[in-house]
Amino acid sequence: MAIRPPAGVFRIIRPRSRFSAAVTTMPSPALLFHLFADLLTPGVQARVAEPQLSMDDPDAAAAFHDAGRSDGLLAASYLYHAIQASAQIPPAARVLDLGCGPANQLAVIADICADARFTGIDASPAMLELAATTLERCGRNNVALHAGRMEALEGFADASFDAVISTVSLHHLPDCASLHACMRSVRRVLRAGGGLYLADFGRLSRQRTQHFFAHERSAVQPPLFTADYYNSLRAAFSLAEWRAAARHVGNGVRIERSFLVPFMVVLRTHPGYAVDCARRQRAAELWQALSRARQRDLRDLARFLGHGGYALAYPPWRPQHR
């Protein structure tokens, strides 16, 4: 499950006159209500592990896969994470992707970071089959797939990767002990000074807020996708649990979060790496290929995280200079 911004997170109200310089960003009233209600609710809900710890249901896997096609519901989310991850991946790196799923997200990151070599790991045979299909369709030859568990990372030598990434997969782990084990394994396989980009949901305080995020666009989402979205939010780890687990990775890890509430949490190396012109240019090309609706989604997600203090590494809508 990748993160999709709620509709109208921060919509731009454009001035009537093209000579006016004023541009105002206005949050969606419904979103503001749920954000503040969640912010003012004390404590946090108990975690509810997902009904399936890996997507072995072919129908669920297919629904998720279809939503992530080149201009599907998740296209903006995938490009957002690819841009942010590319700033944590050094040149010509060996990169491990935890919980690669159908590789829709991984394919975009590997496209932008074409100089790097990727290994995607997943515990679900159904997902790995879809991943192989995705990579073949995209013509990506810089990605290998590996069956295995994120907790142990069996078969990988110490310090064998220059970067470790994961996008909205770690909530599939069954409990906090598994999350801690995963973080210890990440530290083992990541070389000293390597890059890190781990993005996932954070657990919200109210079930009604979780329901809002999952169902707001249910009219245009497959029912299985909506159900998985809701289950993913309920299975998310709390911000405190993320902070505790991050200690296993070592110093130099920064924890980012979305505006007001930890709907989204990112563990990353700070300050990251300078992104070369080739990566920036490819991201700009992928941005241009998105529909207007998906471009708005990407801007919304960038604002949602940006207002929380995590700026977009390089906005793809700005001119890229070689």
DSSP strands (E only) in the chain = 10-13, 24-27, 94-98, 117-122, 143-147, 161-167, 190-201, 253-257, 264-269
How much is the average pLDDT of 76-93? 97
Percent of the chain with pLDDT strictly greater than 90: 75
Polymer length in residues for the chain: 322
Most confident residue range from 64-78, 84-98, 208-222: 84-98
Model confidence, pTM = 0.89
Q: Report pLDDT for 15.
A: 33
Q: What is the pLDDT of residue 68?
A: 56
Give the tokens for residue 150.
């994120």
Fold for domain 10-306? Rossmann fold (3.40.50)
Q: How confident is the model at residue 73 (pLDDT cuts 50, 70, 90)?
A: confident
DSSP 219: G
pLDDT in tens, 18-45: 322 223 344 688 989 999 999 999 999 9
What is the C-alpha to C-alpha distance for residues 18 and 39, in angstroms, rounded to an integer? 38
More confident of the two residues 249 and 28: 249
Q: What is the pLDDT, as a whole number, of residue 222?
A: 85
Contact (CB, 8 A) for 269 and 317? no
Measured CA to CA, the distance from residue 313 to residue 87 in angstroms comes to 7
Angle between helices 223-235 and 58-67 (to 10 degrees): 90
- Which residue shows structure tokens 């245009």? 220
How many other β-carbons are positioned within 10 Å of the β-carbon of residue 250? 14
Rounded CA separation 83/56 (Å): 29
Residue 322 pLDDT? 56
Q: What is the mean pLDDT of residues 178-200?
A: 98
pLDDT recorded at residue 12: 36
Q: What is the pLDDT of residue 219?
A: 87
How far does the chain reach from its first CA to its final CA, in angstroms?
A: 34
SS3 state of residue 88? coil
Across the chain, mean pLDDT equals 88
Residue 167: both structure tokens together: 């996008």
Give the pLDDT of residue 7. 57
Domain ranges of the chain: 10-306
More confident site: 70 or 175: 175
pLDDT of residue 70: 54
How sure is the predictor about 252, in pLDDT bands with cuts at 50, 70 and 90? Answer: confident
The pLDDT of residue 162 is above 90: yes
| Gap between the Cα atoms of 101 and 127, Å rounded | 5
Query: pLDDT grade, residue 69 (50/70/90)?
Result: low
Range name among 15-29, 40-54, 110-124, 267-281 with the lowest pLDDT average: 15-29
Per-residue confidence at 321, pLDDT binned at 50, 70, 90? Answer: low
Instruction: Tell me the mean pLDDT in the region 142-165.
Output: 98
pLDDT digits (tens, 9 = 90+) for 148-157: 999 999 999 9
For residue 260, which of 34, 8, 80 has the smallest C-alpha distance?
34
Distances (CA, A) of 269 to 43, 121, 176: 28, 21, 22
CA dist 227 → 56, 147, 291 (Å): 15, 26, 26
Percent of residues in the chain assigned helix, strand, coil, to nearest 5 = 40, 15, 40
Would you list the DSSP string of 60-109? Answer: HHHHHHHHTSTTSTTHHHHHHHHHHHHTTS-TT-EEEEET-TTSHHHHHH
Q: Which residue has the higher pLDDT, 302 or 65?
A: 302
Q: Residue 235 corresponds to which tokens in the numbers above?
A: 């299975």
- Quick check: helix, strand or coil at residue 187? helix
